Amino acid sequence: MTKGIVYLVGAGPGDPRLITLRGIDCIKKAEVLVYDRLVNQSLLDYGSPEAEKIFVGKRPDNHALPQEEISKLLVEKALHNKIVVRLKGGDPFVFGRGGEEAELLAEQGIPFEIVPGITSAVAVPAYAGIPVTHRSYVSGFSVITGHEEDEKENTAIQWDKLAAGKDTLIFLMGVKNLELIVSQLVSRGKSSHTPVALIRWGTLGRQEVLKGTLDNIVSMVKENNFKPPAVIMVGEVINLRDKLKWWENKPLSGRAVVITRPHHLQGGFREKILELGGEPVSLPTVKVLPPQDYSLLDGFLEKIDKFHWIIFTSINGVEYFFNRLKVKKIDFRELKGVKLAAIGPKTGEAINDLGLKVEFQPAEYRAEAVAEGLKGFTSPGEAVLLPRADIARLELPRALKEMGLDVHEVTTYYNELPEDRGDFNFEELLSGSKKPIITFSSSSTVRNFMKLLVDGGKEMVKGAVLASIGPITSETIRSFGLNVDIEASSYTMDGLLEEILKYTETNEY
């Protein structure tokens, strides 16, 4: 049996922009992606759609796969001649069990490479405005596991030296054992007035920082219901945070923003959320697919020059329509004399990018406005083609027919609920100090989102901020008995983002 290769890749601390270029290169060529809970799932987007994706994340109360089984899985896939990427949060060799996995690979004679990642021990404090070293405060730091159990007989942690030294102390995975950590340090001489900071979900939009001292931090954690995952810092350098904090100053800091639109349309919006300090959470509730039967569409394409207007209502409609035109080898010049209309600026841009001209685009980006606006451009009897989704609304063709136009609808693409939605944990999003914002870009994203909810899910949604791209989508949200907190005045994702920013300026939670 031939052997593949395993890349043990550090994914960084959470912010997807902090992975290395080498890490991205490995993900791109992976045939199997084995990833952890704290890996930002947007990094999987760099992988091939054909790559096998296996979640092996560990939660405090549930391990998807024991560590021994994870190591065996890497061996098994490599022995089947696969290129395997083991994607791990932070750095593989900083409490990432990467050493154990590499040992087994070496024993089995399987080639492997280590791709270092930015460790949360340094990056998370940086995002909280706390340098781990500073010439005026401290010249060194220690990184310690916070996961060692109290009943362990022979501890590897030298508590006496940690308590006596002046280094910044950084404990990873230690919230559960915080009381033990504090008692060990204080009982060995560390001043109870020493500053302590807990940084939860560091480098992500929902980052939270709890700051206290050794004598009060345990009670503060209980009072604030401060849960893992968090990095624990101990040392005088924490006093610099008030002066140097920067991440929380961004307008969307503390906010998780759930994006429900189709995955391939999320990119630009996701990047803007990141830049504004928010945490984009991908939950595509719509998957766009081509028709199974092209016969009707092909029939219209073969007589495309007989139409006076083609009205596009979405980017997907443009993409799938013109892709089929290319497959059928129909020259774009056949559209000469056919006028094109677009609903929404992005739909218009997609047409313009093909070198074609949009003759009409309504100021109001909704289907009904198209019919009203076209009255001055059309005459009764003119033929109109509507390439649309299978679940498109009926208002537009009805209004066009009432104008006396000869309307032909054709399904150009289908919308369905995606099967793979990753490791989405809505309850976890709601545990932050600020409400998550759920964005809906169409009625179908709303309906499919509601299908995903398990028992009690509707009540959970009421704990979030619901943001709608426009009145039609808002109507659908309200039909489920939910309130709309944010509605875009211009029916685009940029318009929605503008309204989200206005909302966060005046709403702390």
Residue 450 annotated as catalytic: no
Residue 458 annotated as catalytic: no
Residue-wise pLDDT tens digits, 455-481:
667 888 989 999 999 998 999 999 999
Catalytic residue among 3, 53, 58, 227: 58
Q: Which of 64-68, 79-83, 105-109, 471-475 has the lowest mean pLDDT?
A: 64-68
Question: 5-118 with 122-249: one CATH topology?
Answer: no
Confidence of residue 331 (pLDDT cuts 50, 70, 90): confident
For residues 435-455, give the mean pLDDT. Answer: 90
- For residues 383 and 308, the answer to whether their CB atoms sit within 8 Å is yes
Highest average pLDDT, of 9-18, 387-396, 488-497, comes from: 9-18
Q: Structural domain boundaries of the chain?
A: 5-118, 122-249, 256-286+419-506, 289-416
For residues 169-177, give the mean pLDDT. Answer: 94
pLDDT: is 214 or 460 the higher one?
214
**Whole-angstrom Cα distance, residue 304 to residue 383?**
10
Q: What pairing do the DSSP bridges indicate for beta strands 141-145 and 486-487?
A: unpaired
Give me the CATH code for the 289-416 domain, please: 3.40.50.10090
The packing angle between helices 267-275 and 493-506, to 10°, is 30
Residue-wise pLDDT tens digits, 185-198:
999 999 999 999 99
Residue 66 is predicted with a pLDDT of: 87
Q: Which of 99, 119, 136 is nearest to 202 (CA)?
A: 119
- For residues 149 and 44, the answer to whether their CB atoms sit within 8 Å is no
- For residues 190 and 163, the answer to whether their CB atoms sit within 8 Å is yes
Q: Which of 260, 261, 229, 37 is nearest to 120 (CA)?
A: 229
Tokens encoding 240: 């610099």
**Whole-angstrom Cα distance, residue 172 to residue 177?**
11
Q: Which of 326, 220, 284, 247 is nearest to 417 (CA)?
A: 284
**Whole-angstrom Cα distance, residue 6 to residue 419?**
27
Residue-wise pLDDT tens digits, 303-330:
999 999 999 999 999 999 999 999 999 9
Residue 58 annotated as catalytic: yes
CATH topology of domain 5-118: Cobalt-precorrin-4 Transmethylase; domain 1 (3.40.1010)
Catalytic residue among 36, 91, 167, 485: 36
**What percent of the chain has pLDDT above 90?**
74
Give me the CATH code for the 122-249 domain, please: 3.30.950.10
Catalytic residue among 82, 173, 339, 485: 173
**Whole-angstrom Cα distance, residue 475 to residue 478?**
5
Cis peptide before 471 (omega within 30 of 0): no
Confidence of residue 255 (pLDDT cuts 50, 70, 90): very high
CATH topology of domain 256-286+419-506: Rossmann fold (3.40.50)
